[in-house]
Amino acid sequence: MKASQEKLYIPEHIGIIMDGNGRWAKKRGLPRPVGHTYGAKTFKTITRYISQQGVKFLTLYAFSTENWKRPLEEVNALMKIFRQYLIDSLTDFREDDIKVVFIGDRSAFAPDIIDMINETEEVAKDRKGMQLNIAMNYGGRDELLSAVKRLCLEAKEGGIDPSAITEQDISSRLYTAGQPDPDLIIRTGGEHRLSNFMLYQAAYAEFYSTDTLWPDFKPEDVDKAILEFNKRNRRFGGV
């Protein structure tokens, strides 16, 4: 970040909806999967840059529960990119001391992808730097449904009093249990919606949208988002 911005407050947790890979490719007359390949490169660059700014948690929306509805060719291409990333991730971010965690329902993926996810988390579990949450087969509603089912089961078994359930009881059963809620959510590609991303956790997050498509998103775009974040007056429901 530029020297003039050094005194800015750095969000503790940033979430990014990485949108626009397909449109980026279409604008260039290329197949949509090519956009995802370029987007994967941006993913690594931006993750490292955000870590260097002192952010403690970064959550990237990589593949939603709704993305399975996309054309089979595109889904297969995404799975190929995931496999390559997971192979690379065994060494990626090691020097940056970034801890890698996957959030979402991983049971829907092929067995080899699940094995690589587990191995990646195991290799990175003792790192002390920024925690990178990669949201794969993730949906905010699905996450809440899973948490509610767990609470219902615990109540049925007598482990919890339904009338005493608190917000903390819910948040502690989400994929992001133990993490602070995001301060800032960035969406690339020009859309202005959460698209089922961190619905519970985003209650008081500041939202920043940019027309820049994800493959074109640069470190200076991160700077712009953090600068804008610092201009917001966060009242959390107060005056």
What is the token pair recorded at 231? 């201009």
Is 169 among the residues known to form the active site?
A: no
Strand partners for 208: 186
**End-to-end Cα separation, the chain, in angstroms:** 31
For residues 196 and 66, the answer to whether their CB atoms sit within 8 Å is yes
3-state helix, strand, coil in the chain (%, to 5): 50, 15, 40
Helix axes 72-89, 111-124, angle to 10 degrees: 30
Q: How far apart are CA 181 and CA 194, in angstroms?
A: 15
The residue annotated as part of the active site, out of 19, 92, 142, 181, is: 19
For residues 119 and 90, the answer to whether their CB atoms sit within 8 Å is yes
The residue annotated as part of the active site, out of 67, 96, 105, 216, is: 67
For residues 208 and 225, the answer to whether their CB atoms sit within 8 Å is yes
Coil, helix or strand at residue 122: helix
* CB-count exposure of residue 20 (10 Å: 0-12, 13-18, 19+): buried
Is 67 among the residues known to form the active site?
A: yes
Catalytic residue annotation: 19, 67
